Amino acid sequence: PVFGNWFQILFVENNGMAFGMEIFNKYFLTGFRLVAVTFLGYLLHKLLKNGSYPFGFIVCVAMILAGAVGNIIDCLFYGEIFSSSYGSVAGFVPWGEGYASFMQGRVVDMFYFPLFTWPEWLPLVGGGIFFAPVFNFADACISCSVVAMLLFYRKYFL
């Protein structure tokens, strides 16, 4: 616990996408991330070169790019340099002796905000935690930037 029970630091290794979602296999997901980062880098270059986009929009694109790069670094290399954490604490190992091969690593998540538990009598959500996902800083950069872009910069997508 950091601030009472509503904010905790945990250690969770996530096989999938943001907030632990698993939709496709690791090679597809890593390939998609690499293509997305390449596209976002190109887009950011074009936006900066154009000079007519607001600073906040540029910051949002840069934060999405930074978050994607952070998750890629975990995915590409984390499995190569750490032992498995199943039943123990992960530790550094010599390069290539980790629990997974290149592009097969898990992303480390650590922020947990169990703000409150829904009352038992509520249908569908009763007894569940209001916001249960564990996430990392990269996920937060991506998610907050996408929300900010949808709220404040919609006109730049049309």
Is 139 catalytic? The answer is: yes
What lies within 8 Å, CB to CB, of 58 at 6+ separation is 44, 47, 48
Q: What is the DSSP letter of 154?
A: G
Whole-number Å distance between alpha carbons of 111 and 135: 5
Print burial letters for 100-118: b (CB count within 10 Å at least 16), e (below 16): beebbbbbbbebbbeeeee
Instruction: Indicate which residue of 78, 99, 109, 136 is catalytic.
Output: 109
Instruction: Indicate which residue of 67, 139, 141, 149 is catalytic.
Output: 139
Strand order through the sheet with 8-14: 8-14, 107-112, 134-135
Query: Catalytic site residues?
Result: 109, 139
